[in-house]
């Protein structure tokens, strides 16, 4: 992202594109190899919970261990190709990059890196608001990737359809990272967070209705939720470098990425027995509440940063005659 100081969101989206599309590739491979007969789950081990079913067909279960070898082989080949394409910029390219960056700063002083020290960063309100937003967003993303198919199995008896939906969701995962990163460059990270979390809230609170809408509605909602929740993967690194600077950027991004692990732990806690008590409708609404909280914190982020931005404008206007852009132009 240091190569594209004015397009950090797009750069982050492109860099995260491959890992998003991997779900499309591996979901299709695994489903085609493990379950070519289109078996449906037929074993309900827990009395009183008939919707929670598992595969019991011996010929299907025998193929599961071998599927790991196939995935490992494909991963090894792709990673080997990727490693050979990694290169460092030449001195000439570095000089061109520095020159372009200086011109940007001269045209707008607010594009200069804030260069916030890591310790100061973790003590700032902005860091913790971002931390909460991305952590809560991670809950919904993990829920959809791990349990949306299980929910679909409760009313859709077509494993090939569910696998195809998962594969298309992989495409939406990758394209969502790119699209939300591009949008953040156009309207700003704080506004993008508001749009993303607000959209995700509406989708999550209506996801249970797909049980009434059938396969078509289920397919649309899963794709839309994955597309929307994937935005955090491009917004997070872009936010870290935009608001806290390029210096020690790897450490700063890593600190903010702790929110992803925290979100995963929260998702595990929310599913630890609660799905038995609340059933699917209650669990989905619980994750919808996570999205709503992320939206409220995104609103807080926008209005807090607006006040800070106006204060910076007031200070900088005393030392420069360059036109300073209004907030989130």
pLDDT tens per residue, range 258-306: 998 888 888 888 777 666 667 888 889 999 999 999 999 999 888 766 6
Q: Which of 9-18, 124-133, 271-280 has the highest mean pLDDT?
A: 124-133
pLDDT band at 167 (very low <50, low <70, confident <90, very high): confident
| pTM for this entry | 0.72
- pLDDT tens digits along 293-326: 999 999 988 876 666 655 555 554 554 444 444 4
**Predicted pLDDT at 271:** 76
Stronger pLDDT, 19 or 280, i.e. the higher one: 280
**Predicted pLDDT at 277:** 67
pLDDT band at 104 (very low <50, low <70, confident <90, very high): very low
Half-sphere exposure of 101 (CA within 13 A, CB side): 16
Q: Write down the mean pLDDT value for the chain.
A: 78
CB-CB contact of 244 with 21 (8 Å)? no
- pLDDT tens digits along 145-155: 888 888 998 88
Which helix H or strand E contains 293, and what residues bound it? helix 274-316
**Predicted pLDDT at 102:** 45
**Predicted pLDDT at 107:** 42
- pLDDT tens digits along 182-231: 888 888 888 899 999 999 999 999 999 999 998 999 999 999 999 999 88
**Beta carbons within 8 Å of 85's beta carbon, 6+ residues apart:** none
């Amino acid at each position: 992202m240091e190569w594209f100081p004015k397009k950090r969101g797009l750069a982050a989206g492109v860099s995260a594109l491959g890992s998003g599309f991997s779900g499309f590739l591996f979901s299709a491979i695994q489903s085609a190899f493990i379950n070519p007969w289109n078996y449906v789950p037929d074993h309900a081990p827990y009395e009183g919970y008939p919707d929670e079913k598992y595969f019991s067909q011996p010929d299907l279960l025998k193929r599961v261990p071998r599927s790991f070898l196939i995935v490992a082989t494909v991963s090894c080949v792709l990673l080997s190709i990727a490693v050979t394409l990694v290169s460092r910029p030449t001195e000439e390219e570095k000089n061109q990059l520095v020159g372009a960056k200086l011109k940007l700063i001269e045209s707008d002083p607010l594009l200069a890196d804030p260069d916030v020290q890591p310790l100061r960063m973790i003590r700032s309100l902005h860091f913790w608001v971002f931390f909460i937003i991305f952590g809560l967003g991670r809950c919904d993303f993990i829920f959809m990737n791990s349990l949306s198919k299980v929910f679909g199995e409760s009313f859709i008896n077509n494993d090939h359809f569910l696998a195809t939906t998962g594969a298309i969701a992989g495409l939406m995962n990758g394209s969502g990272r790119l699209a939300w990163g591009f949008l953040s460059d156009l309207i700003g990270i704080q506004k993008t967070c508001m749009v993303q979390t607000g959209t995700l809230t509406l989708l999550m609170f209506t996801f249970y209705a797909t049980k009434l809408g059938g396969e078509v509605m289920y397919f649309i909602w899963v794709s839309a939720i994955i597309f929307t929740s994937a935005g955090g993967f491009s917004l997070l690194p872009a936010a870290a470098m935009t608001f806290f600077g390029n210096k020690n950027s790897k450490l700063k991004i890593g600190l903010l990425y702790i929110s992803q692990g925290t979100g995963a732990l929260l998702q595990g806690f929310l599913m630890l027995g609660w799905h038995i008590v609340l059933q699917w409708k209650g669990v989905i609404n619980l994750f919808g509440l996570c999205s709503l909280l992320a939206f409220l914190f995104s609103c807080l982020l926008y209005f807090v940063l607006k006040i800070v931005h106006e204060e910076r404008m007031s200070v900088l206007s005393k030392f420069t005659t360059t036109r300073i852009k209004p907030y989130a132009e």
